[in-house]
Amino acid sequence: MVRLGLCRMFVSQPIKFRTTTAAYIKRLGRLEQLQKISTLCLENALALYKSIEYCAAQHIGCFRVNSQFWPVKTHPDVGYEFADLPGAGEIKKILLECRKRALALNIRLSFHPDQFVLLSTAKTDVLRNSVDELEYHTEVSEIIGADVINIHAGGGYGDKPSALRRMGSVIRKLKKTVRSRLSVENDDRVYTPRDLLPFCEEYDIPLAYDVHHHRCLPDGLSVKQVTDAAIKTWDREPLFHISSPRDGWRGGKTLRHHDYIDIRDFPSEWGSLNITVEVEAKAKELSVLRLYNQMQKL
């Protein structure tokens, strides 16, 4: 059975995740900073619990948590340790309730860090920041029970094989708790499934197959070929992505996401699989609900 996933936020429901900027936090004293951040983390924990309940009620089987769930967590100037936040114990208690509730309702939780997480970079500072960000995501994941932290391979830097070797070397040095959740996604500009499948097999990292990206950047492999190969890279339920182009496939900007999913874009090869398919569409829960209803009719 296909498990549809909602990504990060809502457009029609009164469920909000809050964040802040480092520029604002810098204007506060350190104690005020931690109190402000603590308040945001508490509100986000409560919002996650509501999100899990909503997803379960609407037949949505997965929720991708916002990467700013703990705002400015790894910022070099205003970052913090979660344990140092006022009320950290109460926040963690609520997050453990989220984990318990998600497990009871069979709601999968995942993360997709921002695209500045680059493990293929040759820049030491960028790499350090990227690893810090993955460790932060892992810290939250261990509490709430998220089992996927999905990233892009990054840039090709004029030599994709060398970039992938750098990425693989970094992955082998990651903490086990990070690596066990990590997946890599084909993108729409640089890395195709044909590029990444051998990498995933060599470094034992699952491929989060994005079929829209593959259609924008084809590589000669069919959807079925990539689907079958990608599934074999997973040691748990595979997680894929679906989206539709904003202006259709004949429009000039196929990379941009539509508000909804065109049911014709949903691969027939996926219909009978036990997979998670995160819906990347601007109408958020409305797009997931429409797709779910269309799939039920089919």
> What is the SS3 string spanning 194-209?
HHHHHHHHHHCCCEEC
The tens digit of pLDDT for each residue in 23-43 reads: 999 999 999 999 999 999 999
- Rounded Cα distance between 243 and 129, Å, is 29
Instruction: Parse the chain into domains and list their residue ranges.
Output: 3-297
Beta bridge mates, 277: 4, 240
Asked if residue 55 lies in contact with residue 62, where contact means CB atoms within 8 angstroms, the answer is yes
Spatial CB neighbours of 292, under 8 Å, sequence gap ≥ 6 = 4, 58, 59, 60
C-alpha–C-alpha distance, residues 293 and 79, integer Å: 43
What are 101-106's contacts with CB under 8 Å, separation 24+?
101/49, 101/52, 101/53, 102/52, 102/63, 102/144, 102/145, 103/145, 105/52, 105/53, 105/55, 105/56, 106/56, 106/61
pLDDT score, position 163: 97
Q: What is the pLDDT of residues 96-135, one digit of tens each?
A: 999 999 999 999 999 999 889 999 999 999 999 999 999 9
Instruction: Give the domain 3-297 fold.
Output: TIM Barrel (3.20.20)
> Helices 160-173 & 193-203, crossing angle to 10 degrees?
30
Predicted TM-score of the model (pTM): 0.96
